[in-house]
Structure 1
């Protein structure tokens, strides 16, 4: 089979797979106009070494040794949607209804913004932030499944880097956006930029309102040794939520001379949510039945600053970069609930949770050419995370007679510092390119359970090697192979031994004895360019030890406790295919599919034998531009069952439509219909010899959004390439 036949076969398989799926949803967005930056402060143009740039009127992908970049400029759901909407369209990425992100089925995903960590992306509030924050300021999404040693190894599944829009040369513009939708949705936004010789300014402000209803159905069965049967209860819940989000960003790049660049960025976020929830529980034989009404007020605020200095030294690719960042975040949650047992008196309660977190980061990165086609990249990085938790709870017979409950009151502090030294060496040997690397890390962790008087310290030293190899088969085809060792450190809440009260039937508790998960990841990919089209096949294998997972225990009386534990081993193998191109001048396509096998050896109570299963994820996107001013889009997504330690989870899929009308050079409108089939739901199933639990969640509903855009000024020239370039050399990592 020649390359032309293989290309058409791959495209047909991907597009044919989608209609056979039970439901559809978002597809891979069009790809980026510019390649991945080697360091965040600098914005580089297309056509640099080590990159495959696919350009066209609508579909573009950029592939480099350690990442694949997707431009989301023409993803209409991202233009008037949230970060979660944008990520749902990226191959291999899944985002559930709570904003939890996974990459090829692995929930251990690190999310960066312009190559740098942010406190909100490391905290438990990440899902809420992704669901509420507009994606209009994101230019492209980079997926890095096997990062080089120049990047932090945090994230067993890999890294997702959100690259924001920057002011281009000779730019002076401002864009105003207004969005309105059903279910009380609305948004306002403004962004702008100014760029001239030696100075670049850019910024944006966004406000968003999201009102959303949700439903939950939980059928719970637990084995009763006395009767020798399973006792079953049912919980039905409805929730009416109202959210508000404010985000702002301002950035500056200043070049005092031709050799130095000073950059700074300030960010602000403020998300607030109010929710009314009604629960009805029918216990086995009427025992344990109750009704419950609760109101929750929650907020998430944060401020961040990032600064960098870049010094260009003599020689091509010779530079020194120093970065500093500080990011603070605070979460507040107050729950007022009234529980009325069947035939009993009402009980009142108030539960309060407070989280304060500060992240500090310092990085010094040095790149130096060491000969023809060779370069060395070495550096030092230090990351410090400090977190304070404060839980409180009170109960009583009325709202005015609440008394503190010791079991609901807790203080917990967490601190984690990581020192790292790394080095990568890039070699261009003609048709072969190599980039070996190694990273040394010392982690110091302190857990202080203040209320219980328990203090735990854990220090460990680890080595993380990486290797990227590229081989040029022809001017149009390339093979890439890579290896990377990754780590997934438990979060602060994973380590907190305090029992967190969720509702009368559900509690959650961390485990201070958790170890970090270590993953060895291998990949082999084939990439083909043909004109403005891009095709790839990637085989991957991952083996993990000590993966952290949820474990459900029966406390009796229908109350379940969810704790965290380390798996013994797990392994995952699969293949991912991407096809991106055009059927004609006006009709384009974007399709991807991931098929994988997963085996888990949990060594947990009630699940002591290995379990395995296969699953698949499909995406397809079709675009039609009949005129220069009209642009139509239909995209779909479906995800199969995902194996977990004690059961599996189901996500299903969605179908979305979009239309963009360019009225003139300044004014345009975008109309989208998300979840058109009202198929968005997720199900989590626990199935062990003693516990059977099935939770089905529905939310979102059909969402219709209309966005109006008005632009003032000029956004400068955008450089675009009409070909894919295969060139030698090693690639650098995101700094």
Structure 2
């Protein structure tokens, strides 16, 4: 069935004739901050605390009119503290938050009697983790552990997030994660995504949101949930900015620096930032393989890879916002990432017969060069139809261009038996264009009811060409068996409707998203092509019931889809060593999942949830015998038949002392896979768990410290059996120079306990590997902020091409 353009346009007309608005997830608490003489105070730090234990739940800043607001608050008892340089800190009496919105009396700050020359030590630091109704927020910028780190390293230390040996991201033990950067989907997964996130320094990130069960407004992709990365934005008036530099050392050095500038005056806001990163990464990979034929052992091989990869990245972002009037904002943003990587990975391989006698021995020198420039442009419009903001229209037009240039030179020298050396030279050039249009119309029907709806159109074109040449004794011959040319075109049309309503102590939200997909793929060599057309509906339901002042119960159900990434479908090859290569799989089908979650909240801070999901045709990363035989292995992607996931999550934040906050997160799960691959039937799973614990210490005189630890138990993912691993990290932070400077010191993986040790077994093949990376790193970072300290609320928005930008790459 085709989802026609006419239907989408009719859908927009329908929405314009009806009232729609963002789904409301909990009551809103708002207020205003004034001085004694009645003037409003902007850029005041406003923190809302749980009355039971004084723990900070959220922090905000007052805007130019002195106003502030807190959204998505669970019902319960709270109090608010307000502070500003030159004023005494004020704390409100405790108050109750119910299911309806609440406006507080004006908060009045009195001038401080203390001399302004003394260091101001009263400050409200954002908690490292904030838990909202439907997500966990990781405040990256406030943590000393972010100094000198990459965004991939920050993600690996976030609650419930794991990164495997191939850089596949998992949320609460489930792969199939949608990654957004400022609302735009990253067009990559696996190793491609890992390399891109290594090029994005953590000092460019403000916060990360982990959303396990997104509503219909989001694209239907992401069966495991959404990881939304929010980059830093400066909202101060006038001309201001910040400069950051960091240096780290593990096995090799890591250098990161960044500059951010912003000019805001009346209706105009111009902003931009630039980050440079030069990181050297050590990798060690040890492989032991055993080969069988008719269940009889026929031989084995041992490999040792020691490598060094240099990543150099330049990231930039520039844009302008202009208020056409009080109700209309027009904006434009251009952003990009240019990353270059150079790897030198020597390899030693020995093969043995069934008696353990040495058969062959050779050495490979693998030199790889990777260049991944990309650029994206966005034009956005936000319009409120009245001064109350009850009716609002937003629209985005996005364009993104990604390139991949990979050069490879694999030289192999043979010592047993002795024969001439060979060289395999590869040259890959790929391009990807993404165009999208997105519009959302929202309208608040009443204090307790909303509607929201929108449409989205996206067009994707991908073209990849790879040539391999064999060089031996000075003769070059084109290898037609390895060379390839792959073209891919995709169109997705989507529309959604979301309804929410609060009835007494019950909050209801229901959404329906429709997506119609047209896909065409062509493998030019061999003239192999495929076409797929499908229309699917993705319903979602969320129910929250307030049982008492201390107990809340929530239920969510949804259906989601993960389409293969563009490079997962691409049959080009990338050689790891003389006997191992990676290739895509054009025969992959999308995986679809049904997700259920039941959540209980006690005293607005202790959260327990149980979840279940069923995934049909799950896509997994596998290493299996290559079709060429000759003891070669191929890393690729395959569909299995089914996967069942059962999960239990426990969030346990405690405050042992006024200066010590301890945040604990436990995810226990059982995941079973059913399918057949390489002549091997699979119907198994294993109970597993991950544990994250973070201690935040307020030491006084501007000093704070973070101590984090994470542990992942033994787990079984498809055919891969992974041994336990963990990591301990320590960070220290000092605020100085009248809060304009921040010094951060940290040591990650202090005990060096995060190597990956795993096995995979099939009927005719078994592999055991040990992989260690450069994870124990000591880093020092210094940030200086300059310019005006007056804050004005930013109204910049995210774009609309978030779905396609993740899938433009693959492992």
Is TM (by shorter chain) over 0.5?
Answer: yes
Q: Distance in 1 between matches of 2:519 and 2:724?
A: 35
Q: Distance in 1 between matches of 2:322 and 2:612?
A: 44
Name the residue aligned to 1:174: 241
Structure 1 601/247 Cα, relative in aligned 2: closer, same or farther at 3 Å? same
Q: Distance in 1 between matches of 2:683 and 2:197?
A: 34
Tell me the alpha carbon deviations over residues 101-125 of structure 1, each in whole angstroms, 9 at most, x when there is no partner.
1111222111111222244x46862
Q: Which structure 2 segments of 5+ residues have no match? A: 1-55, 62-66, 81-123, 794-801, 804-811
Name the residue aligned to 1:276: 344
Whether the 8 Å contact between 1:51 and 1:63 is mirrored in structure 2 is no
Indicate the structure (1 or 2) with the bigger Cα radius of gyration. 2
Alignment of 1:363-402 (within 5 A): 363-398=438-473, 401-402=475-476
2:537 corresponds to 1:466: no
Q: Distance in 1 between matches of 2:238 and 2:167?
A: 35
Which of 215, 233, 237 matches 2:284?
215
Tell me the alpha carbon deviations over residues 2-23 of structure 1, each in whole angstroms, 9 at most, x when there is no partner.
xxxxxxxxxxxxxxxxxxxxxx
Name the residue aligned to 1:48: 71
| Post-superposition offset of 1:679 | 1.8
RMSD (Å), alpha carbons: 2.6
Q: Distance in 2 between matches of 1:356 and 1:379?
A: 30
Structure 1 662/487 Cα, relative in aligned 2: closer, same or farther at 3 Å? same
Structure 1 565/97 Cα, relative in aligned 2: closer, same or farther at 3 Å? closer
Q: Distance in 1 between matches of 2:718 and 2:747?
A: 36
Which of 384, 394, 408 matches 1:321?
394
Name the residue aligned to 2:427: 352
Whether the 8 Å contact between 1:554 and 1:691 is mirrored in structure 2 is no
| Post-superposition offset of 1:381 | 0.7
| Post-superposition offset of 1:605 | 4.3
Q: Distance in 2 between matches of 1:245 and 1:293?
A: 25
**TM, length-normalised to structure 2:** 0.79
| Post-superposition offset of 1:181 | 1.8
When structure 1 is superposed on structure 2, of 198-207 and 139-148 the one drifting more is 198-207
2:634 corresponds to 1:561: yes
| Post-superposition offset of 1:395 | 1.4
Q: Which structure 1 segments of 5+ residues have no match? A: 1-29, 36-43, 720-733
When structure 1 is superposed on structure 2, of 502-511 and 205-214 the one drifting more is 502-511
Which of 104, 111, 114 matches 2:172?
104
When structure 1 is superposed on structure 2, of 167-176 and 534-543 the one drifting more is 167-176
Q: Distance in 2 between matches of 1:92 and 1:162?
A: 16
Name the residue aligned to 1:404: 478
2:588 corresponds to 1:514: yes
Structure 1 622/52 Cα, relative in aligned 2: closer, same or farther at 3 Å? farther
Q: Distance in 1 between matches of 2:599 and 2:542?
A: 11
Tell me the alpha carbon deviations over residues 404-444 of structure 1, each in whole angstroms, 9 at most, x when there is no partner.
21112211111111100110011111211111010111001
Name the residue aligned to 2:264: 195
Alignment of 1:150-549 (within 5 A): 150-170=217-237, 172-182=239-249, 183-225=252-294, 228-284=296-352, 285-314=357-386, 316-341=389-414, 342=416, 343-398=418-473, 401-497=475-571, 501-529=575-603, 534-549=605-620
Alignment of 1:16-31 (within 5 A): none
Alignment of 1:698-717 (within 5 A): 698-717=772-791
Tell me the alpha carbon deviations over residues 231-257 of structure 1, each in whole angstroms, 9 at most, x when there is no partner.
221001110211211111123322111
Structure 1 500/240 Cα, relative in aligned 2: closer, same or farther at 3 Å? closer
The secondary structure found in structure 2 opposite 1:583 is strand
Name the residue aligned to 1:730: none
Q: Distance in 1 between matches of 2:282 and 2:263?
A: 41
Tell me the alpha carbon deviations over residues 295-350 of structure 1, each in whole angstroms, 9 at most, x when there is no partner.
11111111111121011023543111111111111111111121012222211221
Whether the 8 Å contact between 1:118 and 1:359 is mirrored in structure 2 is no
Tell me the alpha carbon deviations over residues 260-309 of structure 1, each in whole angstroms, 9 at most, x when there is no partner.
01122211211111111111011013224211112111111111111210
Tell me the alpha carbon deviations over residues 186-221 of structure 1, each in whole angstroms, 9 at most, x when there is no partner.
111111333343333332111111012111100000
The secondary structure found in structure 2 opposite 1:213 is strand
Q: Distance in 2 between matches of 1:189 and 1:356?
A: 28
The secondary structure found in structure 2 opposite 1:125 is helix
Which of 582, 599, 606 matches 2:672?
599
**TM, length-normalised to structure 1:** 0.87
Structure 1 522/272 Cα, relative in aligned 2: closer, same or farther at 3 Å? same
Give the total of aligned pairs: 679
Higher RCO (C-alpha under 8 Å, 6+ residues apart)? 1
The secondary structure found in structure 1 opposite 2:677 is coil
The secondary structure found in structure 2 opposite 1:205 is strand
Q: Distance in 1 between matches of 2:499 and 2:131?
A: 20
Structure 1 346/31 Cα, relative in aligned 2: closer, same or farther at 3 Å? farther
Tell me the alpha carbon deviations over residues 354-401 of structure 1, each in whole angstroms, 9 at most, x when there is no partner.
221122221110112334521111110112222111111111225x54
Whether the 8 Å contact between 1:167 and 1:201 is mirrored in structure 2 is no
Structure 1 67/232 Cα, relative in aligned 2: closer, same or farther at 3 Å? same
2:596 corresponds to 1:573: no
Structure 1 214/387 Cα, relative in aligned 2: closer, same or farther at 3 Å? same
Whether the 8 Å contact between 1:378 and 1:423 is mirrored in structure 2 is yes
Name the residue aligned to 2:19: none
| Post-superposition offset of 1:154 | 0.8
Structure 1 418/52 Cα, relative in aligned 2: closer, same or farther at 3 Å? farther
Whether the 8 Å contact between 1:683 and 1:695 is mirrored in structure 2 is yes
The secondary structure found in structure 2 opposite 1:185 is strand
2:156 corresponds to 1:88: yes
Whether the 8 Å contact between 2:490 and 2:517 is mirrored in structure 1 is yes
2:745 corresponds to 1:671: yes
| Post-superposition offset of 1:508 | 3.5
Q: Distance in 2 between matches of 1:466 and 1:265?
A: 32
Tell me the alpha carbon deviations over residues 702-732 of structure 1, each in whole angstroms, 9 at most, x when there is no partner.
211111111112343599xxxxxxxxxxxxx
Tell me the alpha carbon deviations over residues 601-636 of structure 1, each in whole angstroms, 9 at most, x when there is no partner.
123344324102110101111122221311122111
Structure 1 576/200 Cα, relative in aligned 2: closer, same or farther at 3 Å? farther
When structure 1 is superposed on structure 2, of 474-483 and 566-575 the one drifting more is 474-483
Q: Distance in 2 between matches of 1:714 and 1:647?
A: 54
Whether the 8 Å contact between 1:260 and 1:309 is mirrored in structure 2 is yes
Whether the 8 Å contact between 1:66 and 1:148 is mirrored in structure 2 is no
